[in-house]
Every structure is written in structure tokens, then in C-alpha cells.
Amino acid sequence: MAKRKQTTELLNYGVKHIAFIMDGNGRWAKKRMRPRNFGHAEGAKRIFEIALDCNKRKIEVMSCYAFSTENWNRPQSEIDYLFKQLEVELKKKIPTLMKENIKLVTMGDITRLPLSTQEEINKAVNETSANSGLILNMGLNYGSYDEIIRGFKNIAKRIEANEIKSDDIDVKMIDNHLYTAGYPPLDLLIRTSGEMRLSNFMLWQLAYTELIFTPVYWPDYTPEQLELSLQEFSKRKRRYGGLDNE
Ligand code: FPP
């Protein structure tokens, strides 16, 4: 009898759009008696490893909170290091993103970032723009309040220009004025490091998202951890305010 081929197909368990609040880099480093930046360097690598895994699973969008509008309150040396690390990783990873057909996009106002970081981001975004696999959506100088205010201002401008009426405003219209316009609804949010907060991340998009808070620090969040999170997601019953069909 022919031996059956062992397949280890990676499943997405129905997740089209996944998001991560990548927390715990500092504590991960502290546990190892290393400086916080050591944790950020390891955390930056994990973003791309997890993105590759999401891509293999045919998840459509991975959104991640790489730098928030509040992270400017950190010491300048840490901010500088974070952006340098992002540059280093992007430079290294563009060939892989191309080979794996991953498209990089950002959400947030990146014009406040160091020029060299903006250049590296723009390069990666332009080079990968025609890729049709996973959309890796990086929140950089991103905050939900900012995103919603920006969306409302654009809607208000369209009303002033008589393109639309205030009565036309509905959920779809607001969706279409956010950074995530056109992406599938957010199915699953994972926050690492045991903190249970949303920290101004994708507040509008999270209305019916399943939430997982894992104690694992972000640098320890491997593809095996992702598999566990997705299995947990697959056990959730999503009712969207309705009733179970059983
Ligand atoms: C949280 O760890 C991490 C962040 C500040 C955001 C995510 C950053 C990375 C994954 C590193 C790569 C950097 C970029 C810009 C892509 P923390 O410092 O809050 O950890 P702690 O809560 O243990 O102190």
C-alpha cells in the first residue's frame, strides 16, 4: 500500500484579519538581565516570522501595533533604537517579502518618523505594492483616536463640498474612512505579555473581534504560539449579538 503523505497544512481557522498588540519586549529583556533594546531587537524579528506564518495560513491581513501615538513619551534613546531596528529589519526582509508575495502597508502618520526610517518604509511599501499575499499592516505613530478623528474630518470635508449629506453617514462610510478601508473585518486580536488593555488600538474595528490575552512576552511569541491562539479562536462562538443556531 502506498504510504500516505504526511501533510502539515497550516490552517487559519477562519481568520481573515488578525491583529497584535506586541507587548513585553522590555520585561522579556529584563528577565534575561539585558537592556530593554535587546528585547526590541528580538521583538522586531518576531513580527516578520509571524507574518510569514500568517501568509502560509492564507490569513489576508495582519495588523500590528509597532509604535503608538503615545510611545513618543518614551526616552529618546529607546525611540531612536526602535526606528533604527525597524530600518534594519525592513532592509533585511524586503527580499523575503517579495519572495513570499507579502505586501507591506502602514497605518498612522509616518511623517513624524525619522527621515531615514520613512525612506526605508516607503521603499518597502513601494516595492511590495503589487504583491497579492498577506497584507502586513504596521501601525506606526498610530492611535485609534487619531485615526477616527482623521476619518471624521475627511467625512466633514466631503459634507462641506456637498459630495455627501450628514444623513449618509453610516457604519460602512466610517469604515471606508479608516486606514483599514477595504480590509476584511478584524476577527482576532492578540495581546501578549498578560496586560489586558486595548491601549488606543483599532477601537472602531474591534467591535466584534475575539480577544486573546496571553501571558507570553512578544519575543517568545513563536509560530507555535500562534497555532495555539488560533485553536483557541476556533473554539469561540461568534454570535454578533444574535443567538446560537444550536
Ligand atoms: C512593547 O514592549 C513593544 C512596543 C513598544 C511596540 C512593538 C515593538 C516591537 C515589536 C519592536 C520593533 C520595533 C518597531 C518599531 C517595529 P514594551 O517595551 O512595552 O515592553 P514592556 O511592557 O515589557 O516594558
Q: Which domains does the chain have, with CATH numbers?
A: 17-141+185-232 (3.40.1180.10)
User: What does the pLDDT read at residue 2?
Assistant: 52
List the residue whose alpha carbon is closest to atom 1 of ligand 1: 23
Q: How many helices (H) and strands (E) does the chain have?
A: 7, 6
Q: How far is the CA of 23 from the centre of ligand 1 (A)?
A: 6
Specify the pLDDT at position 6. Answer: 54
**What SS3 state is found at 123?**
helix
Low-confidence ranges of the chain (pLDDT < 50): 1
Question: Rounded to whole angstroms, how far apart are CA atoms 202 and 6?
Answer: 39
Catalytic residue check, 71? yes
* Cα of 9 from ligand 1 centre, angstroms: 31
Residue 140: DSSP 8-state: E
- pLDDT tens digits for 174-217? 999 999 999 999 999 999 999 999 999 999 999 999 999 999 99
- 203, burial (CB in 10 Å: exposed 0-12, middle 13-18, buried 19+): middle
To test the ligand 1 pocket, which listed residue (86, 104, 105, 218) has its Cβ within 8 A of the most ligand atoms? 218
d(CA 192, CA 24): 7
Cell 503615545 -> residue? 70
- In this structure, the number of other CB atoms found within 10 A of the CB of residue 42 comes to 19
pLDDT for the residue 5:
54
| Cα 236 to middle of ligand 1, angstroms | 28
C-alpha to C-alpha distance for 167 and 229, rounded to whole angstroms: 41
Position in ligand 1 atom list of the atom nearest CA 140: 15
User: Is 23 part of the annotated catalytic residue set?
Assistant: yes
Question: In this predicted structure, what is the pLDDT of residue 243?
Answer: 80
